[in-house]
Amino acid sequence: MEKPKRAQQVFTLLVQVGRKTGDGLPEGATGAALMCYASGVDEAEAVRETVAVLKQADLAPLDVTGYGTIDERRAQEHEISQEEEQLMERARAENAVIVAQFTPFFGDEPQPGLD
């Protein structure tokens, strides 16, 4: 008996990466934060796929914080721009991980998150 196929959803993830030889981060950076939109049948799958893609890109993921789907974010009253919605739709349509923002860290700067 075949399992019913679950629909892909898009999750907003904040990934913190450390330094690794060949990572392409700017000189002097201690790491970076990447805001990603990743598709998956659940958040765990989206996290696994995102970490795998970032490792293939020679980045060193250290921590992933999930902010949920677009509906979950709206329920938390996050402001979501039209551009974000378009990137999320692209991630869903392409079953992909989209890096929407890349912020390098220098020294003891505070690390970004969603408000």
Residue 2: pLDDT over 70: no
**Angstrom distance (rounded) from CA 107 to CA 78:** 29
Q: pLDDT tens, 32-83?
A: 999 999 999 999 999 999 999 999 999 999 999 999 999 999 999 999 999 9
| Sheet strands (E) in the chain | 9-18, 31-40, 60-66, 97-105
| CB 91, CB 39: distance < 8 Å | yes
Domain ranges within the chain, ordered by starting residue? 9-105
pTM confidence score: 0.86
The pLDDT of residue 98: 96
Q: 99: number of CA atoms within 13 Å, CB side?
A: 16
* % pLDDT > 70, the chain: 90
Cα dist from 90 to 39, 46, 69, 102, whole Å: 9, 14, 14, 18
Secondary structure (3-state) at 76: coil
